[in-house]
Amino acid sequence: MNTFGEIIEQIKIAPVIIIHRHTNPDPDALGAQFGLATSIKSTYPEKTVLLAGESVGDLDWMTTMNQVTDEQYAQALVIVVDTANTPRISDQRYSLGTTVIKIDHHPNVDPYGDLNYVDTSASSCSEIIVDLINHAGNDLTLTKPIAAALYTGIVGDTGRFMYSNATVHTFNVVAQLLSFGFQPDKINQRMGQITLNQAKLQGYVLEHLIVAENGAAKAIIPADVLEKLGLQQADAHVAVTTPGRLKEVTCWVLAVAKPDGTYRIHLRSQGPVINDIASEHDGGGHPLASGANAQNEAEVEQIFAQLQAKLT
């Protein structure tokens, strides 16, 4: 694994820096992406610093993406944040860069890039970016907007500090970020807001949730349900943690139909490790929170059976 010092040296010499993150971005991916990009741009205004990836959906209050041309990659340093493996990188042109750096906190099952920094003890990639900025000293900048974005990322990946990945170091980092004077209550309120139809989707999940006696649970969100509620696939993220509020549920799979008839799989656990299941189904992630894909409902049932086996 490489060091912060090596990454900072690459940032200092690159005329163009393009920062990528994973598909279907969450607050941590966007917080790390925006926070790092803004820190670099604030420190080196002469550099071209761009954000790459598909639309961010209803998280556009955090940041939006730039239009990046193929020509801009020709002399670019590419930094990919919060992305465990190459298939999940949003905008596969990342490989066109002259140098690629991976910064992540997921298990390093795919150590891609010319430089690679992975810290699985970090609560989030946003936490790592704070550490990088602190290590850089005057070579990177931390400002109020950057601090707010990185705080948002940490809040997102710690489940508002409810998950075990929030450590003493995490809280020390948060205390540092709060010293910049943004309003964390406004961010927390914004992150908690959902539409009426998203709330109805949560109700649908609870109504159609199948819970096995051993605490494994499964819910499928069909395409016609999303269409009826006027929601996109990305809007279903609000229902991912819903089953975890039930005392009877220990681990669960939420399958969201894609337009092509396949399923986006969300795996969550309050006990057994489940990212090994995700890796068997075109996915991966954290031990207790992972994503995967299923080609059909039969594969969804297979994943549910694997979850149940974890609890036997």
* Phi/psi at 294 (5° precision): -130, 135
Mark whether 158 and 237 lie in a shared domain. Answer: no
The SS3 of residue 62 is: coil
Mark whether 176 and 253 lie in a shared domain. Answer: no
Residue that is last in its domain, among 191, 221, 256: 191
Mark whether 41 and 145 lie in a shared domain. Answer: yes
Domain interval for residue 210: 196-310
Mark whether 127 and 165 lie in a shared domain. Answer: yes
DSSP summary character for residue 87: G
Nearest Cα to 83, choosing from 105, 66, 63, 62? Answer: 105
Mark whether 175 and 280 lie in a shared domain. Answer: no
pTM of the predicted model over 0.75: yes
How many domains are contained in the chain? 2
Q: What are the pLDDT digits (tens) for 275-306?
A: 999 999 998 888 899 999 999 999 999 999 99
Mark whether 181 and 245 lie in a shared domain. Answer: no
Question: Quick one: pLDDT at residue 293?
Answer: 95
Sequential pLDDT tens for the chain (312 residues): 899 999 999 999 999 999 999 998 999 999 999 999 999 999 999 999 999 999 998 899 999 999 999 999 999 999 999 999 999 999 999 999 999 999 999 999 899 999 999 999 999 999 999 999 999 999 999 999 999 999 999 999 999 998 889 999 999 999 999 999 999 999 999 998 999 999 999 999 999 999 999 999 999 999 999 999 999 888 899 999 999 999 999 999 999 999 999 999 999 999 999 999 999 999 888 889 999 999 999 999 999 999 999 998
Mark whether 134 and 95 lie in a shared domain. Answer: yes
Question: Quick one: pLDDT at residue 41?
Answer: 98
Mark whether 183 and 273 lie in a shared domain. Answer: no
Mark whether 58 and 155 lie in a shared domain. Answer: yes
Cβ atoms within 10 A of the Cβ of 6, count? 13
Question: Quick one: pLDDT at residue 285?
Answer: 84
CA-to-CA dists, residue 154 to 26, 98, 166, 215, 247, angstroms: 11, 30, 9, 29, 26
Mark whether 182 and 208 lie in a shared domain. Answer: no
Cβ-count burial of 79 within 10 angstroms (0-12 exposed, 13-18 middle, 19+ buried)? buried
CATH code (residue 305): 3.10.310.30
Cβ atoms within 10 A of the Cβ of 190, count? 12
Nearest Cα to 237, choosing from 30, 31, 59? Answer: 59
Residue that is last in its domain, among 133, 162, 191: 191
CA 236 from centroid of its chain's CA atoms: 15
CATH code (residue 179): 3.90.1640.10
Residue that is last in its domain, among 157, 191, 225: 191
Q: Measured between alpha carbons, how far is 141 from 195 in angstroms, rounded to an integer?
A: 36
Question: Quick one: pLDDT at residue 150?
Answer: 98
Mark whether 152 and 229 lie in a shared domain. Answer: no
Question: Quick one: pLDDT at residue 24?
Answer: 86
Mark whether 259 and 294 lie in a shared domain. Answer: yes
Q: What are the pLDDT digits (tens) for 44-81?
A: 999 999 999 999 988 999 999 999 999 999 999 999 99
Distinct helix (H) and strand (E) counts, the chain: 10, 11
